Homo-oligomer: A and B are copies of this chain.
Amino acid sequence: MSFDVERVRKDFPIFEREVNGHPLVYLDSANTSQKPVQVLDVMRAHQERYNGNVSRSVHTLGTESTEAYEGARARIATFIGAASPDEVVFTKNSTEAINLVAHSLGQMLRLGPGDEVVISEMEHHSNLVPWQLLCERTGATLRWFGITDDGRLDEADLDSLVNERTKIVSLVHMSNVLGTINDVSRIAARARSFGALVMLDCSQSVPHLPIDVATLGADLIAFTGHKMLGPTGIGVLWGRLDLLAQMPPFLAGGSMIETVTMGGTTFAAPPARFEAGTPPITEAIGLGAAVDYLTGLGMEAIHQHEQDITRYALDALTSVPGVRIFGPATVEGRGGTVSFDVDGVHPHDVGQILDALGVEVRVGHHCARPVCSRFSVPAMTRASFYLYTTTAEIDALARGLDQVRKVFG
């Protein structure tokens, strides 16, 4: 393996700590990732040396801050293949990015009764509830793709689901529960043929896969900094510039205006139009550093490492008696997020016993309750991997599951 995971791990201070007397085995990166010292150092240096508000000052600190902030925007634009930094809007997380789009497109398209918005049963609540509320506000109808038994998007109803009434299609690119990577090309092509706009929730894909928005087939995508080695408090909306230019603002306030009188306001061009108030400056700069770190290792290499780990994990879990895996059974078209059930033991109890052994997995509905309902379970246990995950950690997980079965045997 050319990917040197042990060297990578040295960049992450948290791996020095123990949990309950065991070395930390962090298998919850789909929830939030750990942060390398390179990212933390850039943020700290900014706060100690260059801190000033952006876009508002002619003074040196303000200019330096603005350059660092806009520099981060430019590097993130390059990272995802955007045509211009102006296509990158900073938000606080994916969730805000999706809400921004739901509100702004709803207004731009004058959504109303008879119009349809299409999502899927595989969505994270953050790409589900904003569309439910949009439909409630406007009278539009929400429709959705189902999930097949092996955890893939069920395209059987494509022709009836996407039709001349469809205005927006918003789908998860990689499922945070099943690990499925959705190839949306057929859906996007059909949506486009009816003039519908296509959004992808890339919260789980941008951190793990090489993404190029020029060829992805989406008009808009959302992702979030804390899942890709960056800090909390920063997310990204990418949109085609000509589309962003037509979209009305969502949050309003300082820095998104052109001119203001008490009687009325005109708005700045994107991305400023969508960045009301003081943005998460240090956090954007931190995300820029995260993108540098990821680029340094290479997204292709990272993805390859995760495929190897996932293959190993699928094998290991399959050989634990009583374990049932949800989602694709092989690494084809799936990422390093594996949810499973341990027969007769509630996920909460599974998670608790694993934690006692230092193994950190997530349990619950993973903010995607309809996925749990689809597979008729109230909750699942999920192990999720990243560039720093090792096969030894998968072994620790498997040993932990043996322990679980002993306690509840």
Contact = CB atoms under 8 A, between A and B. Distances in A.
A249 B20 CA distance: 38
A132 B35 contact: no
Copies in the complex: 2
A59 B361 contact: yes
Nearest to A366: B56
B360 A57 contact: yes
A14 interface: yes
Given A93-B277, A232-B282, A260 B60 contact: no
Given A259-B369, A370-B262, A253 B14 contact: no
A28 interface: yes
A254 B95 contact: yes
A125 B352 CA distance: 48
A96 B26 contact: no
Contact of A233 (B32, B250, B283): B283
A294 B282 CA distance: 21
Contact of A351 (B28, B58, B224, B260): B58
A129 interface: yes
B47 A31 contact: no
A387 to B, nearest CB: 16
B44 A40 contact: yes
A31 B58 CA distance: 12
Interface string A237-279: 0000000000001111111110111101100000000001111
B360 A59 contact: yes
B17 A49 contact: yes
A213 B409 CA distance: 54
Interface in A280-337: 280-283
Contact of A367 (B17, B144, B254): B254
Contacts of A19: 59-61
Contact of A277 (B51, B61, B126): B126
A99 B20 contact: no
Interface in A116-162: 121, 124-130, 132-133, 142, 144
A111 to B, nearest CB: 14
Interface in A41-70: 44, 47-49, 51-53, 56-62
A362 interface: yes
B226 A278 contact: yes
A224 B281 CA distance: 13
A21 B128 CA distance: 54
Q: Which of A40, A348, A367 has the most CB of B within 10 A?
A: A367
A130 B58 contact: no
A170 interface: no
A224 B62 CA distance: 18
Contact of A261 (B59, B232, B364, B373): B373
Nearest to A226: B278
Contacts of A367: 56, 253-255
A23 interface: no
A223 to B, nearest CB: 12
Given A96-B277, A130-B251, 18 more contacts: A32-B51, A47-B231, A52-B360, A57-B351, A58-B363, A59-B362, A62-B360, A92-B233, A95-B276, A99-B253, A125-B265, A126-B276, A231-B233, A232-B280, A233-B279, A233-B283, A255-B367, A280-B283
Which 5 pairs show the lowest CB-CB distances between chains A and B? Answer: A95-B277, A126-B253, A233-B280, A233-B233, A254-B367
24 contacts: A28-B61, A31-B57, A32-B52, A56-B364, A57-B351, A57-B363, A58-B351, A58-B352, A62-B360, A93-B278, A95-B276, A98-B253, A99-B253, A125-B253, A125-B260, A126-B252, A126-B277, A142-B262, A224-B277, A231-B283, A232-B279, A233-B233, A233-B234, A260-B369
